[in-house]
Amino acid sequence: MTDTEFADRALLDLALGLLREHGPLTTEDLAEHLVAEGFEDTDDLVDRLEDLPDHPLLDWVPDGRCVALDALLEGRCLTLRLTAREIASDVLPVADISPMLVLASDDESELVFTEQDPERLTERGISFDETVGAEVLVFPAGTFAERAPGDVVVFTASGGRVSHAFIGEIDHDPVPALIRALEQHCADGEAANLEDVVLQTMADAPGAFTIATVPLTEMLEPAGYERMGDLVAPRGFDFEGYISRSMFDAYADQLGIPVQAVPGVALFASLVDAIDHGDDADLEARFAEGKSRLYEALADPDVAATVLDELFDQDLAPGAIERAALFVLERGPRRAAAGVLWFAGRAAEADARIGDAERYYEKAVDRDAEFDLALVDLARYASDRGDAVRSLSLLARVPGGDEHPLYGLVQYFQPAERPGLGRNDRCWCGSGRKYKVCHLGKADHSLEERTPWLYFKGRQYLTEFSWADEQFTLAEARAGYSDDEDAVIEALGDPLIDDVLLFEGGGWAEFLERRGELLPADERELGEQWLQARRSVYEVEGVGAGEMLTLRDVRTEERREVHAPVVASELGAGALLCVRVASVGDRSQIVGGATVISVEQQEPLLALLTADTVDPVQLVEVLSNPFEQP
């Protein structure tokens, strides 16, 4: 158990003790009681109380107060009325006593989840149907043998446990406080959760449910209410419509999309899933006829981006996404065309079909010149090709495009103007080709100058598809597996994470495989060379003019004169670095990040880096622990 988990558990135990002593409390009142008991008064104490770990006896009633359920239920009783089927099977539905189920039972009954263990019903002669409910109490055979239909079973809470007893007819009236609570909760014509209303009634009325009354369900009809599962509402309520709306609201909250977009999003996701699983019969009837207008939701770039992330998170095949997108393109509304073409492009890119992906993105922009997702992807491709002018032009069409990480970089690499040189003139570089096909709109910087741009292209690639989990794993290691979420988030921005993920983690090799065809020939050749440049431990032997370092590879004793403008001014002779060094033209450069290490880290790093395969997590662990070996 971590220190944070231990502290939260201690806070939870104290909170439960105070709730048992003082009854239901708001988190603010509970915080005051904790401070009065000597607990540290911190600014985030209320937030910590609201985020306490789950505990079966800690709950919140609808008005927001915290309760200890064993204390709230103490001395309360709930009832249910036996039927012939229940007497014959010794299996009881729990809908009318569900608040009691959190407590341990004094008898030999067993709570059974019917969908998980249906044979328990079959062996008692019960055919599973919706009237049974999701949970039942199974008692030993013969428990109710001497009872008659209509008899009442009373479940009473005492000492943190629940026991049952039998009585005949009940002559007590329904609980008035419950009816008043229902009137309040359903005042706007909406449904309420019956268990929540019962707990609220107990919190508000200490005398409620202290004597046996008619079962909960039997209280509802005379008062003008009806019930469906856990929900209760005024008579005539549209439960199915309410449940559908609630599911839409929950799905919209989960994905962070407008609720009106949910039907179209869910329909498209179902289409992809059906194709992915080979369930492609009658697609027209199931996903197009009378439903095609729903796909208009995919015209919103924010919705489209969220949907695609969700589809990739579910590991659905890119081919299924592409096929579904083309299906909707043919049958859906024109407004959705740009969105689904972008889906097809992303799917093709995930399959390393860069040419197809680019054509899809171009078609998306043809359908909607302001569809920013496709514009940004085309800007990425232009950048990969070294076409800074086109990349900037595309980003300029995107709202906030000048804030994109790519913008500042490609702006720096805009080509120098060549006054008086026409598009069809021979290029200034001496290649013999026309200017328009050689250097027009392309960077005329040297390969050495373009190495930061090439490296950035690889780092940007990591943000585009399925590397998020690996990045988070390395960030946890970089943060020393801290419980502090801020520390992990900060580590995610550490350049070392991307550097290790690119090379030891395989990201750079995948980038070259999928997008290498876009790179200028000299950059692609350099990128292939980088794959052969292994990380090692280097000692700085000297710092020279022109931002040059003399480095000695501690492992091989090889010496390199390295141009290192970023780190040269920060280091002195004797410093130890963990870096990769590669040749660029007639010079050597540090590729990616340079990490200064301690003497204690040297041997563990050398042992790790000498292996045929370097584990990325172990590497980050060693680089993050200056004094201890992992």
Tens of pLDDT along 268-310? 999 999 999 999 889 999 999 988 899 999 999 999 999 999 9
Tokens 């709570």 belong to which residue? 111
Q: Which pLDDT value is given to residue 112?
A: 86
Same domain, 46 and 139: no
Identity of the highest mean pLDDT range in 66-80, 178-192, 612-626: 66-80
Q: Which pLDDT value is given to residue 442?
A: 63
Task: Identify whether the C-beta of residue 216 lies closer than 8 Å to the C-beta of residue 181.
Answer: no
Residue 282 lies in a domain: yes
Between CA 19 and CA 222 the distance in angstroms is 35
Query: How sure is the predictor about 441, in pLDDT bands with cuts at 50, 70 and 90?
Result: low
Q: Which pLDDT value is given to residue 474?
A: 93
Residue 264 lies in a domain: yes
* Tokens found for residue 236: 């005539």
Backbone angles phi, psi at 57, to 5 degrees: -100, 0
Tokens 């999309």 belong to which residue? 257
Tokens 């395989």 belong to which residue? 506
Q: Which pLDDT value is given to residue 70?
A: 95
Last residue of a domain, one of 237, 267, 296: 237
Within 10 angstroms of residue 159's Cβ, the number of other Cβ atoms is: 11
Query: How sure is the predictor about 1, in pLDDT bands with cuts at 50, 70 and 90?
Result: very low
Between CA 578 and CA 314 the distance in angstroms is 37
Q: pLDDT for 594-610, tens place per residue?
A: 888 888 889 999 999 98
Helix axes 372-385, 354-367, angle to 10 degrees: 140
Q: Which pLDDT value is given to residue 244?
A: 82
Q: Which pLDDT value is given to residue 465?
A: 66
Helix axes 176-185, 194-204, angle to 10 degrees: 120
Mean pLDDT, rounded, for 416-430: 74
Q: Which pLDDT value is given to residue 57?
A: 93
Helix axes 495-503, 616-623, angle to 10 degrees: 150
Between CA 441 and CA 258 the distance in angstroms is 41
Residue 437 lies in a domain: no
Residue 416 lies in a domain: no
CA dihedral 54, 59, 60, 66 (to 10 degrees): -100
Same domain, 126 and 230: yes
Which CATH number goes with the domain that contains 541?
2.40.50.140
Tell me the three-class secondary structure of 130-189, residue by residue.
CCCCCEEEECCCCCCCCCCCCCEEEEEEECCEEEEEEECCCCCCCCHHHHHHHHHHCCCC
Out of 200-209, 291-300, 405-414, least confident range: 405-414
Q: Which pLDDT value is given to residue 630?
A: 37
Q: Are strands 110-113 and 135-138 parallel, antiparallel or unpaired?
A: antiparallel
Q: Looking only at Cα atoms, what is the longest distance across the chain?
A: 108
Last residue of a domain, one of 368, 388, 407: 368
Q: Which pLDDT value is given to residue 504?
A: 93
Task: Identify whether the C-beta of residue 616 lies closer than 8 Å to the C-beta of residue 500.
Answer: yes
Between CA 472 and CA 477 the distance in angstroms is 9
Q: Which pLDDT value is given to residue 628?
A: 47
Residue 268 lies in a domain: yes
Q: Which pLDDT value is given to residue 68?
A: 94
The pTM of this model reads 0.71
Which CATH number goes with the domain that contains 284?
1.25.40
pLDDT at position 48 over 90: no
Q: pLDDT for 457-496, tens place per residue?
A: 999 998 876 788 899 999 999 998 887 888 888 988 898 9
To which H or E segment does residue 269 belong? helix 262-276
Within 10 angstroms of residue 45's Cβ, the number of other Cβ atoms is: 19
Distance, C-alpha 492 to centroid of its chain: 16
Same domain, 42 and 81: no
Query: How sure is the predictor about 562, in pLDDT bands with cuts at 50, 70 and 90?
Result: confident
Same domain, 35 and 95: no
Query: How sure is the predictor about 361, in pLDDT bands with cuts at 50, 70 and 90?
Result: very high
Q: Which of 618, 619, 544, 542 is nearest to 580 (CA)?
A: 619
Residues 6 or more apart in contact with residue 12 via CB below 8 angstroms: 52, 53, 55, 58
Residues 6 or more apart in contact with residue 317 via CB below 8 angstroms: 276
Mean pLDDT, rounded, for 92-111: 89
Residue 479 lies in a domain: no
586 vs 574 pLDDT, higher one? 574
Same domain, 7 and 99: no
Last residue of a domain, one of 335, 368, 401: 368
Q: Which pLDDT value is given to residue 123?
A: 85
Same domain, 33 and 114: no
Same domain, 108 and 43: no
Between CA 401 and CA 431 the distance in angstroms is 34
Q: Which pLDDT value is given to residue 42?
A: 75
Identity of the highest mean pLDDT range in 167-176, 355-364, 412-421: 355-364
Between CA 384 and CA 518 the distance in angstroms is 6
Q: Which pLDDT value is given to residue 102?
A: 92
pLDDT at position 211 over 80: yes
Mean pLDDT, rounded, for 215-235: 91
Out of 72-86, 257-271, 556-570, least confident range: 556-570
Same domain, 107 and 228: yes
Residue 477 lies in a domain: no
Q: Which pLDDT value is given to residue 271?
A: 95
80 vs 416 pLDDT, higher one? 80
Between CA 429 and CA 439 the distance in angstroms is 8
Same domain, 182 and 271: no
Between CA 137 and CA 126 the distance in angstroms is 13
Identity of the highest mean pLDDT range in 45-54, 166-175, 298-307, 576-585: 298-307
Same domain, 226 and 89: yes
pLDDT at position 439 over 70: no
pLDDT at position 59 over 80: yes
Same domain, 89 and 205: yes
Same domain, 222 and 253: no
| Rg, the chain, Cα only | 34
Phi-psi region of 229 (alpha: psi -120 to 50; beta: other; left: phi over 0): left
Helix axes 495-503, 468-478, angle to 10 degrees: 120
Residue 503 lies in a domain: no
Between CA 559 and CA 551 the distance in angstroms is 6
Q: Which pLDDT value is given to residue 354?
A: 93
Between CA 416 and CA 100 the distance in angstroms is 78
Tokens 């003019």 belong to which residue? 545
Angle CA(176)–CA(181)–CA(182) in degrees, nearest 5? 100
Total count of domains within the chain:
4
Q: Which pLDDT value is given to residue 629?
A: 43
Domain with 571, as residue range(s), is 534-623
